[in-house]
Structure 1
Amino acid sequence: MIFEVKELAQLFTNHQGAANDLITIDSVMTDSRKTAKQSLFVPIVGENFDAHQFLGEAIKQGAVAALWQKDQPVPRLAPTEFPLFFVEDTTKALQQVASYYLNKVDPIVVGITGSNGKTTTKDMVASVLATKYQTHKTAGNFNNHIGLPLTVLSMPMDTEAAVLEMGMDRAGEISVLSNLAHPDYAIITNIGESHIENLGSREGIAKAKLEITEGLSSEGTLIIDADEALLEDQKKGSRTVSCGFGDDADYRAAIQRLTDDYSTFTVREHSFELPMAGKHNVKNATYVIALAERLGLSVEEIQKGFRQLEMSAMRFEKHEGHKGSLIINDAYNASPTSMKAIIKVISDLTSKSKKVLILGDMFELGEHSEALHESVAEAIDANIHAVYTIGDHSRKISEAISTTHPTIDTKHFIEKKELSHHVRSLLTEDTVVLIKASRGMKLEELLENLVD
């Protein structure tokens, strides 16, 4: 049980049915196609859909109460005693319920945002904190104005630490999430180019990410990228901690060794080993170390958390491919910054000598799209054997590589099937293939033909 129906009656005084009865709520349902016994149904209204029409299905699936938008007629099928709570906007009411429940459970709240690396950092934070606290984290991509409240409302009552990823497309969205969650600790992983189409510039992106401080508790701590000039002013804050590679970082990482499977580095004279490749992941780890120390975790507990790290799907996800090749699926999302970072990781791999990149479109770059796609070629070096692109915009990557690296095999494809067959024909035991693009490209579909 997460609460009783009568608690909702205190939040929403306009209601009908058995709103004051001792009816338990075990979960919250927004999708009436899924079974959820003893649930609260929240019918979301979107641009092209209205879930109010599915009340009957929701009741069959286990709903015992529902929020209800005042401007929607109550269907005749609704049982007389079925509790309905009338609200102006069901999405905002969902956020209100989530805020109430979060205050009720009262865990340590860690909010994480950033253009790149927020999901990886979320997974790291949750893994490390789980060595000491009952920890709950954002699942999948439940990081927006609907997903974050659902993440909170799926939290067990005994949760001691809630790790909440906060995503955005536009200005003002992080503000809503921060003011809902009131984080005790806020992490901004970096400022990249994601959503520059809506925010106009990296300065606009930085301003939007800094909205996470709006709901930060009065004694809260902000943890930021020390190497980002756009966050320079934030370093002056008394409750701000900076992490990175520069000499002025409060938590400065010094890399000792990078391999295909792990990274070793030191922070404040302590040595750590991360079961992940890439310099960018070392920086993400410094945020976690800074946070963990403030929560009283020892170096041994932090290292234990790193060792037991489990990453979310499609983040440097390794598969054994055709003929013993290595296929790395990082197709969950992409920006110029993240694409360049992972290309560097592939270039530095030592276990495979034949390196093939499959790169797709990066979305929401607006008028900057052409130049930013072309800029990806800057990350390509002689260690890369072939680069194949697919999509409307990624052709610019192939064109730039043809000019800057004429010895690298590069081609632009229109169809996924043709691309996957071509790459499959190249696979050997000594081949590694990277798949990277924005989520909408669905390049994980290529795995079916590349992985036996």
Structure 2
Amino acid sequence: MSANIPYKLLKSECRSYTGSFNSEDVLTGVSIDSRTVKKGELFVPIIGERFDGHEFAETAVTSGAKALFWQEGRPLPETVEKINVPIFYVQDTLVAMQQLSKRYLNEVNPSVVAVTGSIGKTTTKDMVAHVLEGSLHVHKTKGNYNNHIGMPLTLLQMPKDTEVLVVELGMNHAGEISFLSQHVCPDLSVITNIGESHMEQLGSREGIAKAKLEILDGMTHEGTLIVDGDEPLLDKDYFVQKLTCSVRSAQADLFSKNIASTHDGVSFQVSNDDECYHLAMIGEHHVKNALYTIAVANHFHIDRQTVRQRLKNMAKTAMRMERLKCPNTSALLINDAYNASPTSMKAAIESIIQLEGYKRKIVVLGDMYELGDEEKSLHKSVAEVIRTPITDVVTVGEKALWIAQALTEQFDDKLKVKHFSSKEIAEPFIRENLDEQTVVLFKASRGLKFEEIIEELCSR
């Protein structure tokens, strides 16, 4: 179902306009890309460092755009001027799109669930949306549309009958989550954890926690904050109600017990509920994501049997502990290479250790970025969790060499450690060690593009 954005909202954002339209007519969405704009949408030409979207306005209209934003001061080409669509002149196209999305959000008026955290926020966002979709009309952040551009686009694709909006709030620097939170004004917020991502920009885990807690800036006293109950940096009182989720402490508001890894995922029980939950995901760290989801579902009074069934049949998020069978060798490849931090890399390794049914367990680990001055020690710290039944460690990249060095210093004769400067050089070694008794984990920061080596291994 598409959005339903009345022209009268566009009039509120512009200084002047040309062309004729009915104020009650509607647009079905917003696009900033002339290559993907759909019929009936508003085209917003964004000005970037290397491009100017105004240059593609004619293409956008030819593709079906029904109206245009136009930044004042930009020359209007004759070819665009002659096009018979309304043009709304604004001071800044990006700001106008942000303000339009805020007006549209207020008009639709859904309950808002916002999710942030160093790791697990995309999986948790997808999990929350999937569970709620069984009972409510839900709209969620697509992919990683979680910044000052992606958030407005998410809102402006929201169907008019949306009851719950589930959004992911991303960041690179302090202040970004504050802006996003004040934009959407969450009723419920989730902070999945405090890791080491963005240490380079924020200096410390304390700095990261402070930035994540900016999610409170758009909340009112009636809101609820759901946090990691195992994180000391979040162990304080706030002006909103706080709920804690834990895999360690029975003192938390919601805690898991009897966690057990199986060949096809992980099962667990929840406080005050003796029936098992099951996730078709490898890794016990996903249990905490499920606890956050259950806490949100409780807020919306979703019965636990529905929650249990929805969690069980949830599809896996791409490149996040994604299971792939290598066609020619029947080896199991685990693609967890969307991004990496020391915390998430250790959790992924623990998941492979717990996985049963494989004689050979290979972990392919690459560089982790944005770790600041502590990057060497943080890379080396990964070696602390690597142990039997891991049989082989393959490190790729300049920074990942520190992991290999730390493992060599441990003098574990049972562990084979190989280092390669690039994934292309590593690929033949990995390939020759694949068979049906082998599982291989791929984990690295996004820049290494480990999905390319996985595609190569699966293609021939």
**Aligned-partner Cα distance in 2 for 1:16–1:175:** 36
Secondary structure class of the residue paired with 1:77: helix
Amino acid at match of 1:424: R
Match of 2:398 among 392, 398, 401: 392
Asked if residue 416 in structure 1 is aligned to residue 428 in structure 2, the reply is no
Which residue of the partner structure matches residue 437 of structure 1? 444
Residues 325, 418 of structure 1: alpha-carbon distance in 2 compared, 3 angstrom cutoff: same
Q: CA contact under 8 A between 2:9 and 2:103: conserved in structure 1?
A: no
| TM-score normalized with structure 2 length | 0.94
Residues 370, 71 of structure 1: alpha-carbon distance in 2 compared, 3 angstrom cutoff: farther
Matches within 5 A, 1:8-23: 8-18=10-20, 23=25
Asked if residue 310 in structure 1 is aligned to residue 322 in structure 2, the reply is no
Q: Once the two structures are superposed, what CA deviation does each residue of 1:320-373 show, in whole Å capped at 9, x if it has no partner?
A: 114211001111111110000010000111121200011111111122211111
Match of 2:64 among 51, 54, 62: 62
Amino acid at match of 1:315: R
Report how far residue 214 of structure 1 moved: 0.8
**300-309 vs 46-55, which moves further:** 46-55
Amino acid at match of 1:82: V
Q: Once the two structures are superposed, what CA deviation does each residue of 1:179-223 show, in whole Å capped at 9, x if it has no partner?
A: 111111100000000111111111111011011111124411110
Q: Once the two structures are superposed, what CA deviation does each residue of 1:76-103 show, in whole Å capped at 9, x if it has no partner?
A: 2223553222323222222111111112
**Aligned-partner Cα distance in 2 for 1:27–1:439:** 30
Secondary structure class of the residue paired with 1:63: coil
Report how far residue 237 of structure 1 moved: 4.9
Report how far residue 73 of structure 1 moved: 2.3
- Structure 1: tracts of 5 or more residues without a match: none
Q: CA contact under 8 A between 1:327 and 1:451: conserved in structure 2?
A: no
Secondary structure class of the residue paired with 1:401: helix
**Aligned-partner Cα distance in 2 for 1:405–1:140:** 42
Amino acid at match of 1:443: F
**100-109 vs 342-351, which moves further:** 100-109
Asked if residue 153 in structure 1 is aligned to residue 156 in structure 2, the reply is yes
Which residue of the partner structure matches residue 319 of structure 1? 324
Match of 2:147 among 138, 144, 148: 144
Which residue of the partner structure matches residue 279 of structure 1? 284
Report how far residue 399 of structure 1 moved: 1.2
Amino acid at match of 1:442: K
Q: CA contact under 8 A between 2:13 and 2:90: conserved in structure 1?
A: no
| TM-score normalized with structure 1 length | 0.95
Equivalent pairs: percent with the same residue? 46
Match of 1:3 among 5, 12, 16: 5
Secondary structure class of the residue paired with 2:285: helix
**Aligned-partner Cα distance in 1 for 2:422–2:281:** 32
Which residue of the partner structure matches residue 341 of structure 1? 347
Report how far residue 305 of structure 1 moved: 1.4
**Aligned-partner Cα distance in 2 for 1:360–1:256:** 29
**311-320 vs 6-15, which moves further:** 6-15
Match of 1:253 among 219, 235, 256: 256
**Aligned-partner Cα distance in 1 for 2:353–2:205:** 27
Q: CA contact under 8 A between 1:131 and 1:304: conserved in structure 2?
A: no
Amino acid at match of 2:305: E
Which residue of the partner structure matches residue 44 of structure 2? 42
Q: CA contact under 8 A between 1:178 and 1:215: conserved in structure 2?
A: yes
**Aligned-partner Cα distance in 2 for 1:242–1:124:** 18
Which residue of the partner structure matches residue 242 of structure 1? 244
Which residue of the partner structure matches residue 454 of structure 2? 447
Work out the number of aligned pairs and report it. Answer: 451
**188-197 vs 79-88, which moves further:** 79-88
Q: CA contact under 8 A between 1:18 and 1:83: conserved in structure 2?
A: yes
Match of 1:292 among 277, 290, 297: 297
Asked if residue 165 in structure 1 is aligned to residue 149 in structure 2, the reply is no
Which residue of the partner structure matches residue 222 of structure 1? 225
Match of 1:186 among 162, 186, 189: 189
Residues 358, 170 of structure 1: alpha-carbon distance in 2 compared, 3 angstrom cutoff: same
Secondary structure class of the residue paired with 2:235: helix
Which residue of the partner structure matches residue 214 of structure 2? 211
**Aligned-partner Cα distance in 2 for 1:136–1:24:** 19
**298-307 vs 148-157, which moves further:** 148-157
**Aligned-partner Cα distance in 2 for 1:307–1:363:** 33
**Moved beyond 6 Å, runs of 4+:** none
Residues 29, 238 of structure 1: alpha-carbon distance in 2 compared, 3 angstrom cutoff: closer
Which residue of the partner structure matches residue 79 of structure 1? 81
**Aligned-partner Cα distance in 2 for 1:386–1:134:** 46
Report how far residue 313 of structure 1 moved: 1.0
Matches within 5 A, 1:116-131: 116-131=119-134
Residues 44, 238 of structure 1: alpha-carbon distance in 2 compared, 3 angstrom cutoff: closer
Which residue of the partner structure matches residue 365 of structure 2? 359
Report how far residue 275 of structure 1 moved: 2.3
Amino acid at match of 1:161: V
Matches within 5 A, 1:369-408: 369-407=375-413, 408=415
Residues 87, 238 of structure 1: alpha-carbon distance in 2 compared, 3 angstrom cutoff: closer
Amino acid at match of 1:353: K
**Aligned-partner Cα distance in 2 for 1:421–1:109:** 48
Secondary structure class of the residue paired with 2:453: helix
Which residue of the partner structure matches residue 34 of structure 2? 32
